[in-house]
Amino acid sequence: MFDEKRKASQEHFAFLVRALILALVGLSVMGFIAFRIFYVTVVHGEELLERSLGNFERNQSVAAPRGNILDRRGRILATSEPRFDISISPLQTTRAEMAQTLATIAQYCPKAKLPTLDKVMGTRSPWKQTAVASKLTMDEAAPLMERQSLLPGLRIDPTFVRVYPKEYSMAAAHLTGYTSQIKPDETTKMREQGYADSDVVGRKAIEKTYEGHLKGVKGSRSVWRDARGKIIQTFEDTPGCRGSDLTLTVDIELQKAGFEILGDRIGVIVAMDPRNGETLAMVSNPTYDPNDPSATYSVPGRSEVNRVLQSHRSPGSVFKLVTATAFLLNGGDPEQRYTCQGTGENMGFKNRKYMRCDQNVAHGPTNLKRALTVSCNMYFFDVAEHLQLPNIVNTAQLFGFGAPTGINLLSRGELKGRVGLESNKYASNLADIHMLGIGQGRLLLCTPMQTTNAYATMANGGRLYRPRVLKRVQLPDGQFLRGYETPTEAGNIPWTPDQRNALLQGFIGVISEKNGTGRHGLFAPEMKVAGKTGTAERDVIRKVDSDSLLPDDAGEATTIKEHVTDAGFAGFAPYDAPEICIYVMLEAAGHGGEEAAPVARQFLEKFYALKAQYGGTF
């Protein structure tokens, strides 16, 4: 009996001990929980709340398209098309989930360049995105977009790619330019201007000069994800705004025709409306593909150099417009006759072998009209000698030679050329003055745009306009910026009507008379073309491989000097009411009348065909 009571007492005591221990454990757990709640909600509540929200919400920038570049009739020369970039990140994803994501991308996106699973999961910066595919079309990206909510770690960003329609891209490359991603050495500067490292910017011509108008303004969006990184919902906080559309003065069909007419020849064709300085075409060959500018230096026969603005040469006899004008403005009589004997040697100047007319032809008694028509060098040698250098240089400057034209195409890089000597270190001599009088020699370098503008000034009666290639800017809201459609006069040539008519008759004769140097152009009489041919001689240095040299000249490599002639033609039509001015320059092509004039005729034929197609207006 006593033993049973003692046993019951022991069991009761054990129960109390166990109950006490259990109570203490329970109180400890509850205390720990209470402490953690206090720690999470009070001590670090704000911090952890912010981090928690950050795990679910991501702010992303939204790309905005660049504005379009259009020709004068609204045809697209450059546009932005939507594309998609695909990237992955292992943040908040398991190895199995990432493996499934990679497998799905591989299945539906053949273009993707996928890293290994180990490389993805082993990255030291799991929050950083790894690009696996870029510039996918909607059709290419759609399968992944449909499955994105089921693929942790996958990110699809809408973007835009610059596209230049293939029909016009090569012909218009020197007008549009191209875009490319910001380079590593540019990032600091571009960040200060609000760009991201992955942004693209204009690199040449219109794309570069008007970057501020063309670029869009990025938007932003918030992406909500669950704890595993799966997208729950997307909110567009601020919509992006596209860039402004730019309309050029150029007609792309005329531009394309000029490009096709040039073919494989190296040179330029420039067309301008002499009534307002609008550039109707600016063809420079060789060209490049703005859709693939990186191939420019690996594909033979391509060049980013716009020869219209970034090359300068002696123009040859087309410069006689300037010499003849200087003659008239300084009191010269257009009817005064000079007797041409073909060469300087025939006239007793045995030490002036450079003094000769083409093929040493003696033109006999020659006045200004005939001298322009037959391009009599001996006449202009004499005129230049009597004028002396300052009068010729001053007149050339009135036409805009020796200074950039200021065309609104290049932010920098337009060459100013040269007229006269820019350094007192060298002195000009009589030979220099003679050669300047016929548009050659070391005193003169001109860009094709300068020459075109000079003849446009002749065509319109003396107004020197600043050339234009940008016609208008249309903002995203449809409004137009002011100031681009107004012609700007940069100078004036003070001809009297009789003086200009004396020049005009000579230029008409170049085309219409049987001995005119432009007769080989075969211009239709109804075109009423007036113009001037030019043939400029120059020496070029060529690098020649040893295999192409004679045995006595053999070596690993060497250079040879070659004498070449550039062919030129400048003119306008119709001469009684000019609406187009044209300049053609073909490098190392031969005689201007035989090579450049026929090219000008083909181009003008296309101009008038398009004008008829447009209902009589251009």
pLDDT band, very low/low/confident/very high, at 25 (cuts 50, 70, 90): confident
CA distance 294 to 308: 22
CATH homologous superfamily, domain 252-516: DD-peptidase/beta-lactamase superfamily (3.40.710.10)
pLDDT tens digits, one per residue of 199-236: 899 999 999 999 999 999 888 776 665 555 555 566 66
Please confirm whether the linkage preceding 574 is cis (ω < 30° from 0): yes
The position carrying tokens 């045809």 is: 75
Q: Where are the domains of the chain?
A: 58-248, 252-516
pLDDT tens digits, one per residue of 78-109: 999 999 999 998 887 889 999 999 999 999 99
Contacts of 376 (CB under 8 A, 6+ apart): 338, 340, 357, 363, 366, 370
CA distance 289 to 279: 22
Helix (H) or strand (E) holding 557: strand 557-573
pLDDT band, very low/low/confident/very high, at 557 (cuts 50, 70, 90): low
Mean per-residue pLDDT over the chain, rounded = 88
CA distance 613 to 280: 16
CATH number of 58-248: 3.90.1310.10
Q: What is the pLDDT of residue 484?
A: 82
Q: What is the pLDDT of residue 223?
A: 65
CA distance 398 to 462: 10
pTM recorded for the entire structure = 0.84
Q: How many other CB atoms are there within 10 angstroms of residue 148's CB atom? A: 18
In the chain, the N- to C-terminal Cα span, in Å, equals 129
Helices and strands (H, E) in the chain, number of each type? 19, 22
Q: What is the pLDDT of residue 548?
A: 47
CA distance 544 to 68: 45
pLDDT band, very low/low/confident/very high, at 149 (cuts 50, 70, 90): confident
Question: Region 519-528: what's the mean pLDDT?
Answer: 97
Q: What is the pLDDT of residue 550?
A: 45
pLDDT band, very low/low/confident/very high, at 544 (cuts 50, 70, 90): low
Q: Are strands 219-225 and 200-202 parallel, antiparallel or unpaired?
A: unpaired
Burial (CB count <10 Å: 0-12, 13-18, 19+), residue 549: middle
**Phi, psi (rounded to 5 degrees) for 317:** -70, -10
Q: What is the pLDDT of residue 426?
A: 60
Lowest mean pLDDT among 282-296, 446-460, 464-478, 530-544: 530-544
Q: Would the pLDDT of 247 be above 90?
A: yes
Q: Would the pLDDT of 167 be above 50?
A: yes
Using an 8 Å Cβ cutoff, are 567 and 577 in contact? no
